[in-house]
A and B are shown apart, each in its own frame.
Chain A
Amino acid sequence: MTHLLSDYIPIVGEDVINQLKQLSCPLSGKSIVHINSTRVGGGVAEILENMLMLMKELGLESHWEVIDAGENFFKITKKLHNSLQGWEQELPEDWYQTYLEVNQANAERLKDLLENADMVFIHDPQPLPLIQFFPNRKGKWVWRCHIDLSRPVRSVWKNLKGLISQYDASIFSLLSFAQPLEQPMYIIPPSIDPLSEKNIPLADEELERSRQRFGLKTGVPLLVQVSRFDRFKDPLGVVKAYQLVKKYRPVQLVLAGGGATDDPEAEQVLEELKADSQNDPDIHILDLAPESDRTINALQRLADIVLQKSLKEGFGLTVTEALWKGKPVIGGNVGGIKLQVINYHTGFLVDSPEGAALRIRYLLNEKALAKEMGRKGQKFVKENFLITRHVRDYLTLIAGLIKGGGCRLQLD
C-alpha cells in the first residue's frame, strides 16, 4: 500500500513535509534509478517501495529496477554478503567470473536507463559490478551498503574494493559500519514507515483478537522479542532472562520469528529453544510466515517490555519499531541498538541474561518510569528514524552530488 506525502502530516507535522518540498524543488525532473536484488521481502525492498513513491510525488523521476539472475548467482552473493559481514565462507572457484557475467548481462538490459540517469543508487553487493560496464555514464553513481562492513573477510574485500572505488560516493547505515574508502562515505541510518502494516496504530479489538489467538493471558506482564531464530539474536539468553524473572513474579514471553523452515541453523535454534523452555505454557515460540507484519505490530503493541538481546546486530529496526509503539526496550549492548536504547531514557542496554532479568524486574516494578521511557522513545524515533527523515537525507545527498559545490551548497 502506498501513501501520499500529505498522509504523513498528522504524524510528523507540516513543517517536515514542507521542508521536503522546498529541498526537492531544485531537483525536479532529475532521473534517479535504484537497483537492488529483490522487489519483495527484506528491509531494503520495503524502504525502496515507500521512498520511491514519495520521491515521485516530490517531482523526481524515480525508477526501481531489480537485478535479473539465477539461483547460482544468488547463492554466490549470499556468501559474499556473509563474507562482507566477517563470516568466513567457502566460495566456488569461478565465483568472481559468474558475478561479473550476470552483472554484464543486466548492464546490457538496463543500458539506456542507467547510462542516462542523473543519479544511480546500487544497493548492496549483488549489483555492485554494474558500474564497470558504464564507462560513458552521465550521472553520479552511489553504492548503498546496508550491511555492517566493519570487518569483512579480507580475500573477498580485496576483490570488491576495486569495484566500490569506482563509485562517486558510498552510503553506510552507521559510522562504525564503514570501511576507509577514497570517495565520500555518507552516513544515513535506515528508517521505518509509520503508515506501514507493521507500524500503523491498531484498534483495541484487533489487539484483543491477537491476544486470544496466541493464548496470552490478560493481567500478566508480557515480554516480546521479534527476530529471526538466529544465535546472534540470543533467543536462548532471552529465555534464561525470562526464567530468572519468573522466580520472582508471574510473567509471559513471546519469541516471534521466522525462517525456521528454510534455514537449518534456525531449525536447530528452534529445537534448543523448545528444550530450554521445558513446556512452560507462558513461553510462546511463534514461527511466523513472512507476511505477518500486522501480527508483529500487534505483538509489539501488546508487550509491556520489548527485548532485543542481540549479541551482534545491524541497525536493529525491530528496536525502532518498538520505540515507535511507545515501549521501553531492553537491548544488547551492540551495533545500532546502542544508538537507540539510551539507559534510563528509552530503555536499558545489557550484556548478559542476568542483566536483562534485572532490568525487566526493575521496569515491571517502575511502571511510571517505563511509561515515560516509552514516551521518550517514541519522540526519539519521530525526530530521527521515520521515512520522512530518510527521504530528506537522500535529497540532501542527491543535491550535494548533482549540484557540486563542496561540503556546503546553497540551492537557488
Chain B
Amino acid sequence: MPEPFKIMDCSLVPISLGISAQNLREFREHLTRIPLESLYSHFYENLLRFSFDDPEFRNDFAQWAKRALHDPVLAERLGVLDPYDYPGLEELRNALIEIIDDRLYETRYIPWARPGEEFYFLTSQTVVFDTGIIANTPKELARLFPRLSSSSVYYHFIEARRRLGAKQDDFSNWLKDFGDKYDALIKSLGEVEYYFLSLTELKKELIKIFSAIARRNKKSKG
C-alpha cells in the first residue's frame, strides 16, 4: 500500500525588487538582470497574489503589454508563453527577450506606459506548511478535495511542476504508486489546461476529475 498523501498548503507575500520600467526598452534591460525567481513570480505566483479573478492574460508581462503599453500583438505573444515548455527559467528569460527584441524591431517607436502605469518587478516570500490532513486512498482524497484551499491546489498541481519537472504533479505521482489502476485518472489530470484557469476554476476541474473515482467505486459495487 503506498504511503498516505499528505496535504500541504502554501502562502506567499510579494516582495518588491525596487525596479520598474516605463517603456519596453527599459523593460527588456531589466529582464536581462532580474533574478530568475522573479520570472516565475510573474508567470505563476500571480495566481496567489491579490488580483481580479478574470484577467485577459495569465502572466503579468502580457497583462502590462496590453493594459499599459497598448500593444495587443506583444501581449498575445507573451500571453501564450508557458514556462514549463522550457527546460529552465534561464531559457524562458531568453525566449522573452527574443520576443521583445522582435517587437522592438517591428515597431517604429518604443512603446511607453503613462506615469502611474509602470511595470514593477517583484518576487515573493513563499511559506509551505503541513495541513495535518492525510488521504490514505484515492477515494479518500476525492472526498477531501472540496475542502482543499485554492493555495493547496496550487501547491500540489502547479508548484509541483517546479519541484518535480514539467508535466508532473503531486496527485498523479501518488496515483502512479497504485499501479495501473488509476491510469485513466492520471491521463485526465495530464490533460487539464491549467494555464488558462484561475485557481477556483482549476479546483472545480480537479473535483470533477476526482469524482470519477467515486462514480467508478459505486459502479463496481453495483
Using CB atoms and an 8 Å cutoff, list the residues of chain A in contact with chain B. 15-16, 18-19, 22-23, 25-26, 172, 175-176, 178-181, 184-189, 334, 338-339, 342, 345-346, 379-380, 383-385, 389, 392-393, 395-397, 399-400, 407-412
By the criterion CB–CB under 8 Å, are B120 and A176 in contact?
A: yes
By the criterion CB–CB under 8 Å, are B126 and A22 in contact?
A: no
The 10 closest A-B pairs by CB, nearest first: A180-B18, A384-B50, A175-B120, A400-B125, A185-B16, A187-B14, A411-B129, A396-B11, A410-B128, A342-B52
Using known A-B contacts A15-B149, A380-B52, determine if residue A407 contacts B126 with beta carbons closer than 8 Å. yes
| Chain A minimum-CB-distance residue to B131 | A22
By the criterion CB–CB under 8 Å, are A186 and B13 in contact?
A: yes
By the criterion CB–CB under 8 Å, are A26 and B16 in contact?
A: no
Using known A-B contacts A175-B122, A345-B52, determine if residue A393 contacts B13 with beta carbons closer than 8 Å. yes
Chain B contacts of A176 at CB under 8 A? 116, 118, 120
- Expressed in whole angstroms, the Cα–Cα distance for A409 and B126 within the complex equals 6
A19-B151, A179-B18, A187-B13 given; 6 more Cβ-contact pairs under 8 Å? A22-B132, A180-B18, A187-B16, A342-B52, A395-B11, A397-B13
Tell me if B59 is interfacial: C-beta within 8 Å of chain A. Answer: no
For chain B, the bracket of interface size reads 20 to 34
Name A22's contact: one of B15, B120, B130 (CB within 8 Å): B130
Tell me if B12 is interfacial: C-beta within 8 Å of chain A. Answer: yes
Using known A-B contacts A334-B116, A400-B127, A408-B128, determine if residue A345 contacts B54 with beta carbons closer than 8 Å. yes
- Expressed in whole angstroms, the Cα–Cα distance for A15 and B144 within the complex equals 12
- Expressed in whole angstroms, the Cα–Cα distance for A393 and B52 within the complex equals 18
Name A400's contact: one of B13, B19, B51, B53 (CB within 8 Å): B13
23 CB-based A-B contacts, threshold 8 Å: A19-B149, A23-B129, A172-B16, A175-B120, A176-B120, A178-B18, A181-B18, A185-B15, A185-B18, A186-B13, A186-B16, A187-B14, A187-B15, A187-B122, A188-B13, A189-B50, A395-B11, A396-B12, A407-B123, A409-B125, A410-B127, A411-B128, A411-B130
- Expressed in whole angstroms, the Cα–Cα distance for A212 and B174 within the complex equals 63
Chain B nearest Cβ from A186, distance in angstroms: 5
Chain B nearest Cβ from A143, distance in angstroms: 14
- Expressed in whole angstroms, the Cα–Cα distance for A92 and B84 within the complex equals 58
- Expressed in whole angstroms, the Cα–Cα distance for A188 and B132 within the complex equals 27
By the criterion CB–CB under 8 Å, are B125 and A186 in contact?
A: yes
Using CB atoms and an 8 Å cutoff, list the residues of chain B in contact with chain A. 9, 11-16, 18-19, 37, 50-54, 116, 118, 120, 122-132, 147-149, 151
Chain A contacts of B14 at CB under 8 A? 175, 186-187
- Expressed in whole angstroms, the Cα–Cα distance for A385 and B51 within the complex equals 10
Chain A contacts of B147 at CB under 8 A? 15
Chain B nearest Cβ from A409, distance in angstroms: 5
Name B125's contact: one of A22, A396, A412 (CB within 8 Å): A396
Chain B contacts of A412 at CB under 8 A? 130
By the criterion CB–CB under 8 Å, are A411 and B15 in contact?
A: no
By the criterion CB–CB under 8 Å, are B129 and A22 in contact?
A: yes
| Chain B minimum-CB-distance residue to A175 | B120
Chain B nearest Cβ from A156, distance in angstroms: 19
Using known A-B contacts A176-B116, A180-B18, determine if residue A396 contacts B127 with beta carbons closer than 8 Å. yes
- Expressed in whole angstroms, the Cα–Cα distance for A334 and B114 within the complex equals 12
Chain B contacts of A397 at CB under 8 A? 13, 125
By the criterion CB–CB under 8 Å, are A407 and B125 in contact?
A: yes
- Expressed in whole angstroms, the Cα–Cα distance for A178 and B148 within the complex equals 34
By the criterion CB–CB under 8 Å, are B50 and A385 in contact?
A: yes
Chain B nearest Cβ from A349, distance in angstroms: 12
Chain B contacts of A342 at CB under 8 A? 52
Chain A nearest Cβ from B60, distance in angstroms: 11
Chain B nearest Cβ from A373, distance in angstroms: 12
Chain B contacts of A345 at CB under 8 A? 52, 54
Chain A contacts of B12 at CB under 8 A? 396
Chain B contacts of A383 at CB under 8 A? 50, 53
Chain B nearest Cβ from A190, distance in angstroms: 11
Chain B contacts of A181 at CB under 8 A? 18
Chain A contacts of B11 at CB under 8 A? 19, 23, 392-393, 395-396
By the criterion CB–CB under 8 Å, are A175 and B16 in contact?
A: yes
By the criterion CB–CB under 8 Å, are B116 and A26 in contact?
A: no
By the criterion CB–CB under 8 Å, are B127 and A409 in contact?
A: yes
Q: Find the residue from B127, B128, B129 having the highest chain A CB count within 10 A.
A: B127
Chain B contacts of A385 at CB under 8 A? 50
